[in-house]
Amino acid sequence: MEKPLASYSERSGRAPSFEVEYRFLSADEGGRKLPPHQHTRWDFLYEGDDAERDGIWMIWPEFISDDREVLPEGVAPMSGHALMFIVNLDNEQMHQERISLGTRGAFMEGGRKVAECTVVAVHALAHLVDEERSR
């Protein structure tokens, strides 16, 4: 029997940066034709930014269940909650300045928006704010 893949937290030894509520767009809305899968590495675009001008960010979702457990590999729900992991830690401070409750964004597949999301909790980024204040 194959061992399930470890969660992003287990692999990296880091807590998630923040959490979003998401909804994948339907094919009719310009979204995906196939359902999303756990651990697909979608990038993140802040609402109001232009993907070509401002760029997209390597912030990857990891889908969780209603009882806050990381979902197994395979098809993920079309809507729900996801823990978000900032991949390039060199950009963490910039994201800390942009991420707060209610921040809106999108999961990107190349230059195409495939899901909309809203920040509903700030996790590891909140600890950065506390560390900055204590200096």
- Neighbouring-strand partners of residue 124: none
Could you read off the pLDDT of 15-67 as tens digits, one per residue?
999 999 999 999 999 999 999 999 999 999 999 999 999 999 999 999 999 99
Closest CA to 51 of 120, 107, 102: 107
Q: Indicate the range of 10-14, 21-25, 31-35, 78-82 predicted with least confidence.
A: 10-14
For residue 128, the model assigns a pLDDT of 58
Question: How much is the pTM?
Answer: 0.89
pLDDT bin (cut points 50, 70, 90) of residue 13 is: confident
